Structure 1
Amino acid sequence: MFKRTLFTIIISAALGLQAHAQQTQSSCSQTLREAQLTYERGRIDLVPDQLASCLRSGFNKEEKIAAYKLLVNTYLYFNESDKAVEAMTSFLSLNPEYEIDVVADPSEFINLYNSFRTTPVYLLGGKAGSNITAVNVSRNFSLDDSSEKRGKYNYIPGFNVGLALEVPINKKVSIAPELYFSQKKYQYRDLILGFADVNFEETQTLVELPVFVKYNIGNFGKDKNITPFVNLGGSVSYLLSSEADVVRKDAVSGENQREVSGPSIDLADQRNSIIYAAAVGAGAKLKNIIGRGYLIVDFRYSYGLNNVVNPDNRTANTTLVYDYLYVDNDFSMNNYSFTIGYLIPKYKPKLLSKKLKK
C-alpha cells in the first residue's frame, strides 16, 4: 500500500512539473510576441523589462535567439553600446552562424555584427581514407645490369586515419595541421639475371604530420552549403615499421619453376626514419549534411622530397641479397590520397572593434 501511494505521489509530481513547464513555456512564448509588438509600436524602453524574467528561465533556444536580437536593436536605439555588445555576444553564442539580412536587419545591427569575430576559433574532427603510392626512382641498383631502368612498380592501396584541426585566419584563409596513422604499400617486379622473377611488396606504417594553408574559394549551392577549397603545404612522417613480403620464382627448365619464399622481412634498418614531402590538394566542405559540423571531402597529392632508402644499409640484409637477389634502388615516394572527414566548429564571439564600446 505504501509503495503504491509513493508511486502515485511521484507520478503526480512529475506530471505537475511537466504541466508547469508547459505553462511557463506558453507564457514566455506569449511574452516574446508581446515584446516584439511593443518594439514595433515604438514603446522600446519597455522591452528589456518584458524579456528579463523569461530570459532567466522560460525561453527555449530559438526564443532566446529572437529575444537577444530584439535586445540588441533596443540598446542600439538608445545608444547603450555596452549593453548592445553584451546582448550581441549572447545572441552570437546561441546562433554563431547567423547570416546578415541586408534588407531586414537595421544598419546599426549590421555594423555591430561586423565588428564581431564570427568565424570559428577552430574546427576539430577526424578524417579517414585510402591512398596509393607511386615510387619515384632516382638511381638504379641491382645484382643485374643497373645501367638501365629496371623492374616495374605497381600500386597497392593503403589507408590513413587521424585527427584534423583547422584554425581560420579569416573567412578565406586558414591553417590546417593534421595527424595521421597511415599505411603505404607498393609492389616491385623484376626479372633478375634472366631467370629469377622477383615479386617484392613493401608495407610501411607511419605517423604523418601534414600542415596546410587552406584557401576557401567561396560558398556555392542552393543554400550556400558547399565551400570548395585548395590546400598547399607539406608533411613530415616518422616511419614506425617497414616490412616486405618477397617471393622469387626461378625458371629451371621448360615450365618447371623453383620458388623461394619465407616470412616477412623487416626493412626498418634499410629505410630512413624521417620522410619529407610537399603537398597540394583540393576538396569541399559540406554544411548541414550531418549535425552542425562540416563534412569534408579531400583529395591531395604528396611529392616525396628525400630518399626513403638508407644507403649505408642497402645490402645489409643478406637474406634479401642472396636468397631473393634483391637490392633497393634509391627512391622517393609520391602519394595520392582521398579522405572523408567531419569537423566540428568551436565559436567564441568576440568584439574586435573597441570603438563601439565607448
Structure 2
Amino acid sequence: MQRLRIAFLVCFAIFCARGLKAQSQEECEQVLNRAIEEFNAGHFYGIPSMLHDCLERNQRAAWRQRAYILLAETYLLLDDPVGAERSYLEILRANPEFVPDRNRDPIDLVYLGSKFTGEPIFSLYGRIGANVSPVNLLKTRSALAGDVTHDYKWRTGIGAGVGAQYHYDQNFGVTLELNYMFTAYQYETTRAFGRDKLSVFDRQNWFKIPVTFRYSDSEGKYRPFGYIGYSVDMLFRDRGTLTFDDRNFTDGRIVPDERESPVINFNPKRNKINQALLFGGGVKYKLGLDYAFVDVRYSIGLTNVVKVENTINSADTEDPVFQWGYVDNLYKINNLSVSIGYIYPLYKPRKLKKARSKSVLKRIKKQDDEVTQD
C-alpha cells in the first residue's frame, strides 16, 4: 500500500510539473505576442525587459528563435550593434541553420546575417554495411601438377566504422575514418593432376584508416555527395579452410574423395600493412539538424597482400599448407561496400572573420534590378 501511495505521488508530481511547464510556455507565448505588438507600434525600448524573464526559463528552440529575431531587429533600430550581434548569435544557437530571407526579413537583418554562420566546423558519423572483395590476380603459382585453372569468387563480408569530417565550407570537406572490416573470398583451382580440385575459403579481418576529400550538396532534403581518397589497410587476422577433392578412377568412373583441412592461420604469409585508393558517393537525407546517409564505396588495392617469399619450397614440412599442397598466388584485394550511417554535425554559431556582406549586397541589387525590369 505504501508503494502505491509513493507511485501515485510521483505521478502526480510529474503531472503537475508538466502542467506548470505548459502554463509557462503559454504565458511566454503571450509575452512574445505583446512584444511584437509593441515593436509594430514603434515602442522599442521596453521590448528587451519584456522578454528577459521568459528567455531565462523558456528552452523551446522555436520560441527562442522568434524572440531573438525580434530582439535583433529591435537593437538594429535602436542603433545598438553589440546587442544586435549578441541576439543574432542566440538565434543561431536556437537554430544553427537559420538564414534570413530577403523576401521576408528586413534588409538590415539580412545584412547582419551575412556576418555570422552556424555551420559546423566538424561532423561526427558512424557507418555499418556489407562488402565483397574482388581479387586482382598478379601472378599465378601452384604446387599442383597439371594445367590448373585459377578462379576467384566473391563472398560477402561486413564492416562498421566511425569518422570525422572537417568542413572547409558548405560544400567541401576532408574526412578521417577508422573502419573495421571482415572480408572473404573463395579460390578454386581445378584440373590438378588432370582432374582433382582444390578450394580455399579465405577470411580476413582489417582495420582501415581512409582519408578522403569530398564534395556535398548543401541544399534540399536529399543531398548527394562524392569523394576520393587514400587508405592505409592493416590486416591483423587471416584464416582459411582448404578443401581438396581427390577424384580417383574406380571401376572406370571418377569417384570424388573430399577432405577438409582444419582452420589454417595465414597471418605469417601476409603483408600486414597495405594501401588502397578509394572513391565513392551517396546521398544524405536530412533529419532535423542531423543526417542519415547511404554510401557506396570502391577501393582499389595498391599492394600485393601475399609475401613474395611465401613459396611451397620454403614452407616448413609441419606447415598444414605444405601438407595440403597449396601455395598462394600473388594478388591485390579490391573492395566494394554498401553502407548506411548517421551524421551528427557539431554546429558552431560564430561571427565570420570575413563577412559575406558583398555577396549579399550583390544578390539584393540583382533581385532589385530584376524587379525593375519586370
In structure 2, distance between residues paired with 1:286 and 1:101:
23
3-state secondary structure, aligned to 2:55: helix
Moved more, 164-173 or 56-65: 56-65
Q: Once the 2 structures are TM-superposed, how far is the Cα of residue 6 of structure 1 from its aligned partner?
A: 9.8
Alignment partner, residue 124 of structure 1? 124
In structure 2, distance between residues paired with 1:193 and 1:13:
84
In structure 2, distance between residues paired with 1:11 and 1:244:
59
1:301 aligns with 2:298: yes
> Would the alpha carbon gap of residues 6 and 217 (structure 1) be closer, same or farther in structure 2, given more than 3 Å must change?
closer
In structure 1, distance between residues paired with 2:3 and 2:179:
57
Alignment partner, residue 227 of structure 1? 223
Alignment partner, residue 255 of structure 1? 254
Moved more, 104-113 or 315-324: 315-324
Q: Once the 2 structures are TM-superposed, how far is the Cα of residue 280 of structure 1 from its aligned partner?
A: 0.5
Alignment partner, residue 45 of structure 1? 45
Alignment partner, residue 242 of structure 1? 238
Q: Which amino acid is 2:114 matched to?
A: N
Q: Which amino acid is 2:310 matched to?
A: N
Matches within 5 A, 1:74-89: 74-89=74-89
Number of residue pairs matched by the alignment: 349
**Would you say the 8 A contact 1:132–1:156 is kept in 2?**
yes
Q: Once the 2 structures are TM-superposed, how far is the Cα of residue 111 of structure 1 from its aligned partner?
A: 2.2
Q: Once the 2 structures are TM-superposed, how far is the Cα of residue 25 of structure 1 from its aligned partner?
A: 2.7
Alignment partner, residue 158 of structure 2? 159
> Would the alpha carbon gap of residues 337 and 210 (structure 1) be closer, same or farther in structure 2, given more than 3 Å must change?
same
3-state secondary structure, aligned to 1:67: helix
> Would the alpha carbon gap of residues 11 and 268 (structure 1) be closer, same or farther in structure 2, given more than 3 Å must change?
closer
Moved more, 17-26 or 333-342: 17-26
Alignment partner, residue 359 of structure 2? none
Q: Once the 2 structures are TM-superposed, how far is the Cα of residue 44 of structure 1 from its aligned partner?
A: 2.0
> Would the alpha carbon gap of residues 244 and 16 (structure 1) be closer, same or farther in structure 2, given more than 3 Å must change?
closer
**Would you say the 8 A contact 1:142–1:329 is kept in 2?**
yes
* Superimposed CA distance per residue, residues 208-231 of structure 1 (whole angstroms, 9 cap, x where no aligned partner): 111111101453xxxx11110111
In structure 2, distance between residues paired with 1:10 and 1:155:
59
In structure 2, distance between residues paired with 1:82 and 1:247:
77
Q: Once the 2 structures are TM-superposed, how far is the Cα of residue 153 of structure 1 from its aligned partner?
A: 0.4
3-state secondary structure, aligned to 2:96: coil
Q: Which amino acid is 2:267 matched to?
A: A
In structure 1, distance between residues paired with 2:268 and 2:4:
75
In structure 1, distance between residues paired with 2:4 and 2:107:
63
3-state secondary structure, aligned to 1:183: strand
**Would you say the 8 A contact 2:184–2:201 is kept in 1?**
yes
Q: Once the 2 structures are TM-superposed, how far is the Cα of residue 121 of structure 1 from its aligned partner?
A: 2.3
3-state secondary structure, aligned to 2:274: strand
Q: Once the 2 structures are TM-superposed, how far is the Cα of residue 102 of structure 1 from its aligned partner?
A: 2.1
Q: Which amino acid is 2:173 matched to?
A: S
Alignment partner, residue 351 of structure 1? 351
Q: Which amino acid is 2:297 matched to?
A: R
> Would the alpha carbon gap of residues 258 and 317 (structure 1) be closer, same or farther in structure 2, given more than 3 Å must change?
farther
Matches within 5 A, 1:21-60: 21-58=21-58, 60=60
Q: Which amino acid is 1:236 matched to?
A: V
Q: Which amino acid is 1:182 matched to?
A: M
Alignment partner, residue 187 of structure 1? 186
In structure 1, distance between residues paired with 2:130 and 2:277:
18
Q: Once the 2 structures are TM-superposed, how far is the Cα of residue 325 of structure 1 from its aligned partner?
A: 2.2
In structure 1, stretches of 5+ residues that fail to align are: none
Q: Which amino acid is 1:306 matched to?
A: T
Percent identity between matched residues is: 29
RMSD value, Cα: 2.8
Q: Once the 2 structures are TM-superposed, how far is the Cα of residue 19 of structure 1 from its aligned partner?
A: 5.2
Q: Which amino acid is 2:231 matched to?
A: S
In structure 2, stretches of 5+ residues that fail to align are: 357-374
Q: Once the 2 structures are TM-superposed, how far is the Cα of residue 317 of structure 1 from its aligned partner?
A: 5.8
3-state secondary structure, aligned to 2:205: strand
> Would the alpha carbon gap of residues 3 and 333 (structure 1) be closer, same or farther in structure 2, given more than 3 Å must change?
closer
Alignment partner, residue 327 of structure 1? 327
Alignment partner, residue 63 of structure 1? 63
Q: Which runs of 4+ in 1 moved over 6 A?
A: 2-16
In structure 2, distance between residues paired with 1:133 and 1:354:
47
In structure 2, distance between residues paired with 1:340 and 1:183:
16
**Would you say the 8 A contact 1:160–1:182 is kept in 2?**
yes
> Would the alpha carbon gap of residues 354 and 306 (structure 1) be closer, same or farther in structure 2, given more than 3 Å must change?
closer
* Superimposed CA distance per residue, residues 237-281 of structure 1 (whole angstroms, 9 cap, x where no aligned partner): 111100111100011112312223221100000000011000010
In structure 2, distance between residues paired with 1:164 and 1:274:
20
3-state secondary structure, aligned to 1:177: strand
Alignment partner, residue 103 of structure 1? 103
> Would the alpha carbon gap of residues 292 and 314 (structure 1) be closer, same or farther in structure 2, given more than 3 Å must change?
farther
Q: Which amino acid is 1:294 matched to?
A: Y
